[in-house]
Structure formats: structure tokens, C-alpha cells
Amino acid sequence: MNIAVLAIIMSCNLFLSINSFSQTKDDTLIRKLEDAERQAILKSDTVQLSKLMSKKIVVQNPENAIVGFRQIMDRIRTGKINYSTFERRIDTVSFINGIAIVMGEETLIPKSDTQPGKIVKRRFTNIWTKENGNWQLTTRQATIVSPN
């Protein structure tokens, strides 16, 4: 009986270790994807963004508008989304039922005529899901907390 109990405990530990390693690996990947998305926004790189974002993406933007993929790309092409600096600090990455939830703070300086030269701080939540085996940015919400 002791051998059976030991085998069960070892199996549970192995499963938990594999699960923990998998989450650590996914955490690292999501953080890299977050940075790639941030850099693509900063560079107005719609080709890279189209690889990172789901075509079904839903965004509640800081202007309190809900936009999709086409509107995001249009805003980038027309310069509505255009920053001279764009930094992101991730506070947490959580995995729930196969979904990655990223929360943190962004600091940016817009180039566009909406708030040129002003430092804008905002809180964000990004949700990543797997589509065809790849993590895609699926949902985003950002709220301005400090426009200077």
C-alpha cells in the first residue's frame, strides 16, 4: 500500500511540475507577444499587427469606443494611433481556461492631433486566446488614468 500511495504522490508532483513548466513557458511567450504588439503599434506596423491580432478582435479604446480589426488598422493607417513613445509595464499574466489575461500600465506620448506631446498613462487589460494553435490578441480594454 505504501508503494501505491508513493506512486500516486509522485504522479501528482510530476503532473503539477509539467503544468507549472507549461504555464511558465506560456507566460514568457505572452510577455514576448505583448512586447511585439507594443513595438508594432509604435512602428505603425500593420503587417505585424495582423499576425498578432485576431481578425475578430474587440477593443474598448480610451475614447470609449468599441472597435474591431478593420477600425484599428484604419486608425493606424490614418495616424489616429501614432505615438512618439509607447512603454508598457505588465503587472500580471494570468491563465484561466486556456485564456491569457494581461493587466498593467502603459505610458505613451501621442503624435496625433488628439493630444500631441502630452504624456498619457493608462491601465490596460489584454486577452489572448489560441487560434489555429497560435496566441492571438482577442480583446483589449484601455482606460486613461493620467493625461498630463
More confident residue, 13 or 134: 134
Residues 6+ apart with CB under 8 A from 103: 90, 91, 92, 94, 123, 124, 125, 126
Measure the CA–CA gap between 146 and 134, rounded to whole angstroms.
Answer: 34
CATH architecture of the domain covering 2-147: Roll (3.10)
Average pLDDT value for residue range 74-89: 94
Would strands 83-96 and 99-110 be described as parallel, antiparallel, or unpaired? antiparallel
Would you list the domain boundaries of the chain? 2-147
**Confidence label for 146 from pLDDT (cuts 50, 70 and 90):** confident
pLDDT for position 21 = 47
Please state, rounded to an integer, the average pLDDT across all residues of the chain. 87
User: Whole-structure pTM over 0.75, yes or no?
Assistant: yes
Question: What is d(CA 72, CA 54) in angstroms, rounded to the nearest whole number?
Answer: 12
**Three-state secondary-structure class, residue 106:** strand
Average pLDDT estimate for 70-87: 94
Taking 70 as the threshold, does the pLDDT of residue 87 lie above it? yes
What per-residue confidence (pLDDT) applies to 10? 54
Checking if the pLDDT of 6 tops 70, the result is: no
Q: Does residue 17 register a pLDDT over 60?
A: no
